[in-house]
């Protein structure tokens, strides 16, 4: 069982920036250990954050069952696996790290996972930057230019928010390493190089929400980093002010994009008001976006898409039941992180959660398969460390 968990984690690290198909192997390998160790565990000691993520999975099921007049099928029930396996993966990851490995092997394993994740990120970012600067994508062998760095598979929003999330994870590790020297020189170089290239890739994606999400994560790292975030914001503001109007309009302001989000949020809220308990059905807002805009006379009636916000998307599609479950999951993840006696885990968790929350205000990262794999793996891993030092681990 532990070998399946180990393989699943490495598969996710390889695919995090390179392929959703590869990442799907994580579920294939982790599902059996998740059920096995969940049944063997003392469930009363399971963290509340895990329970509320399971409750969110149940809310998804209810939203599908009670909206068959809109959905017409049960196919969206398949999406429950992202969240249910994400919650249950806490159990095999806990057993692997604290029962299968001793402390030395645990450190080695965690470094190998981080190393693979960094390589995956570097491959994606350098491929995207090559296309951005030289109009050639080296891995897809495409002679095609792009106005923004889109990573390896060309999905701009997915790549940029994944890069922001990784940055929010790497920076507290780098800071902790500077103080405690937990990595050797070569490991430190790889982390710093990976972090720097990742941030360059993020900035050149010109994705405002993802960049702001990463900057927001700095606020969890102390007063110095709040000052740095403010300074960067001021410098960026001055740079934007002095830039050409065409650049500002195309890459910064993008007023049409901003207005489309506002229209989608209004439509999502109206969809929630129509079906407040179980919503419109999970992942069912996009197909109803234009009908809702027409019905409530909302502009942007030629644009169909998801709600471009985790909060509005979940509110509209799972109703108050799913929305409250989602908020309580975040709340207890934060609470358990604050209460953690593991300094590194606490800093990584809070930085990552801040980035996730702020990024999720303007993008549906929690319903995007590529992003949610990574988000829920980090949730499970940090929850293991946060709670391992709050109570005696038992399986």
pTM score: 0.92
Report the distance separating Cα 340 and Cα 37, nearest Å.
23
Report the distance separating Cα 18 and Cα 122, nearest Å.
10
Report the distance separating Cα 327 and Cα 335, nearest Å.
12
Highest mean pLDDT range out of 142-151, 248-257, 321-330? Answer: 321-330
- Whether 252 has a pLDDT exceeding 90, the answer reads no
Domain boundaries, the chain: 225-250
Collapsed DSSP state (helix, strand, coil) of residue 309: coil
CA triplet 289, 291, 297: central angle to 5 degrees?
95
Q: pLDDT by residue (tens digit) across 108-142?
A: 999 999 999 999 999 999 999 999 999 888 877 78
pLDDT of residue 246: 53
Q: Which of 298, 212, 287, 221 is nearest to 261 (CA)?
A: 298
Q: Supply the angle between the helices 48-65 and 369-388 in degrees, to the nearest 10.
A: 150
Name the average pLDDT for the chain. 89
Q: Give the mean model confidence (pLDDT) for residues 261-280.
A: 94
Burial class (CB in 10 A: 0-12, 13-18, 19+), 34: buried
List, in sequence order, every residue forming a beta bridge with 137; answer none if it has no partner.
Answer: 142
pLDDT of residue 393: 45
- Whether 187 has a pLDDT exceeding 90, the answer reads yes
Q: What percent of the chain has pLDDT over 90?
A: 69
| Contact assessment for residue 36 and residue 92, using Cβ atoms and an 8 Å cutoff | yes
Q: Distance from CA of residue 354 to its chain's centroid?
A: 11
- Whether 162 has a pLDDT exceeding 70, the answer reads yes
- Whether 271 has a pLDDT exceeding 80, the answer reads yes
- Whether 60 has a pLDDT exceeding 80, the answer reads yes
pLDDT band at 42 (very low <50, low <70, confident <90, very high): confident
Q: pLDDT by residue (tens digit) across 359-386?
A: 999 999 999 878 999 999 999 999 999 9
Report the distance separating Cα 375 and Cα 237, nearest Å.
30
Q: Give the mean model confidence (pLDDT) for residues 203-213.
A: 91
- Whether 237 has a pLDDT exceeding 70, the answer reads no
More confident residue, 381 or 153: 381
> Residue 47 contacts by C-beta under 8 Å, 6 or more apart in sequence?
90, 332, 336, 383, 386, 387
| Contact assessment for residue 301 and residue 87, using Cβ atoms and an 8 Å cutoff | no
pLDDT of residue 390: 47
| Contact assessment for residue 59 and residue 29, using Cβ atoms and an 8 Å cutoff | no
pLDDT of residue 11: 96
- Whether 15 has a pLDDT exceeding 90, the answer reads yes
pLDDT of residue 384: 96
pLDDT of residue 144: 84
pLDDT band at 391 (very low <50, low <70, confident <90, very high): very low
């Amino acid at each position: 069982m532990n070998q399946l968990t180990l393989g699943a984690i490495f598969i996710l690290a390889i695919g995090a920036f390179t392929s959703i198909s590869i990442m799907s192997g994580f579920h294939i390998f982790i599902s059996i250990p998740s059920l096995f160790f969940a049944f063997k565990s003392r469930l009363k000691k399971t963290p509340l954050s895990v329970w509320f993520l399971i409750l969110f999975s149940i809310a998804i099921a209810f939203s599908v069952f009670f909206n068959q007049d809109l959905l017409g099928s049960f196919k969206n029930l398949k999406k429950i696996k992202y969240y249910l396996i994400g919650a249950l993966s806490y159990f095999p990851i806990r057993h692997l790290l604290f029962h299968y490995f001793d402390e030395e092997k645990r450190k080695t394993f965690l470094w190998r996972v981080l190393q693979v994740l960094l390589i995956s990120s570097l491959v994606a970012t350098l491929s995207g930057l090559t296309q951005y600067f030289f109009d050639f994508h080296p891995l897809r062998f495409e002679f095609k230019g792009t106005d923004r760095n889109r990573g390896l598979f060309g999905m701009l929003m997915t790549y940029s928010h994944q890069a922001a999330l990784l940055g929010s994870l790497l920076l507290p590790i780098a800071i902790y390493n500077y103080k405690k020297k937990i990595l050797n020189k070569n490991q430190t170089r790889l982390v710093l190089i990976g972090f720097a290239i990742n941030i360059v890739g993020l900035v050149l994606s010109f994705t405002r929400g993802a960049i702001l999400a990463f900057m927001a994560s700095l606020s969890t790292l102390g007063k110095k980093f709040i000052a740095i975030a403010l300074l960067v914001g001021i410098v960026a503001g001055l740079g934007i002010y002095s830039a050409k109007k065409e650049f500002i309009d195309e890459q910064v302001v993008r007023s049409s994009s901003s207005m489309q989000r506002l229209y989608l949020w209004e439509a999502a809220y109206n969809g929630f008001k129509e079906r407040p308990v179980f919503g419109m059905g999970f992942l069912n807002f996009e197909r109803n976006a234009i009908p809702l805009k027409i019905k409530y006379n909302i502009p942007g009636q030629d644009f169909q898409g998801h709600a471009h916000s985790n909060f509005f998307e979940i509110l509209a599609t799972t109703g108050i039941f799913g929305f409250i479950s989602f908020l309580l999951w975040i709340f207890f993840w934060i609470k358990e992180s604050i209460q953690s006696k593991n300094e590194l885990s606490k800093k990584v968790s809070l930085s990552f959660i801040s980035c996730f929350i702020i990024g999720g205000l303007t993008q549906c990262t929690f319903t995007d398969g590529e992003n949610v794999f990574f988000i829920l793996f980090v949730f499970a891993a940090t929850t293991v460390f946060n709670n391992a030092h709050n109570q005696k681990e038992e399986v």
